[in-house]
Amino acid sequence: MQIIEIYKSLQGESSYAGLPCIFVRLAGCNLRCVWCDSEYTFTGGKRMRLDDIEQEVHRLLPDGGLVEITGGEPLLQEREAVPLMDRLLGAGYTVLLETSGEQPLERVPPQVVKIVDVKCPDSGEADTFNLENLKWLGPRDEVKFVIGSRGDYEWSVARMAEHQLARRCGAVLFSPVFGRIEPRLIVEWMLADKVEARFQLQMHKFIWDPAAKGV
Ligand code: SF4
């Protein structure tokens, strides 16, 4: 597989936030979100065999725990990413998959926690979520909306209702685009509208330099 980096940090953007986690960051993305903070994943990386990736995860976290497969868009390398997820599950890890939901989720092992980052209009990639994927979302999975404006917020609330996401998934997450909107505004709108979502911040951006890689 083409890998950008494998490192240990804190999970920062889901209901697993705050827990130690190994990130396996895959190269390549087919979207171009305007506020993307991972442009360095678009090209390059190094070729690694599944054995070597598994060994590196084990070296960094020998006693089990969380491993997140992320990118870029990790499902662009589905042919190898799915066997990798199977191996990590088999080795006793809890496996998270961060994806935009544009690629099919059908072949993702059901034990994997899918964190689907549905792109809002301000990202420039709205409506890229593949609606066919709704049937592959279950109670362990999470849907995230990264919100940059009131328009994004209203769009997210509407998509939540339209697809009954609070009932379908384990968590619906609302998160501000870092540096683009006052987090307080989203919280106040959510409280006023009684939205059944969990507010979150990108925790790692408050702990380390917001532009830092590998954290
Ligand atoms: S899907 Fe993720 S990696 Fe790809 S452009 Fe959007 S934010 Fe960047």
pLDDT tens-digit series, residues 70-79: 999 999 999 9
Q: Given the DSSP bridges, would you call strands 20-26 and 2-10 parallel, antiparallel or unpaired?
A: antiparallel
Query: pLDDT below 50 — which residues of the chain?
Result: none
Backbone φ and ψ for 74, nearest 5 degrees, come out as -65, -25
Model pLDDT for residues 38-84, shown as the tens digit of each residue: 999 999 999 999 999 999 999 999 999 999 999 999 999 999 999 99
User: Exposed, middle or buried by CB within 10 Å (0-12, 13-18, 19+), for 68?
Assistant: buried
Best residue among 34, 37, 38 to mutate for probing ligand 1's pocket (most ligand atoms within 8 Å of CB) is 38
Q: Which atom of ligand 1 is nearest to the CA of 123?
A: 6
Q: Which atom of ligand 1 is nearest to the CA of 35?
A: 7
Q: Rounded to two decimals, what is the model's pTM?
A: 0.95
141's tokens: 């999975």
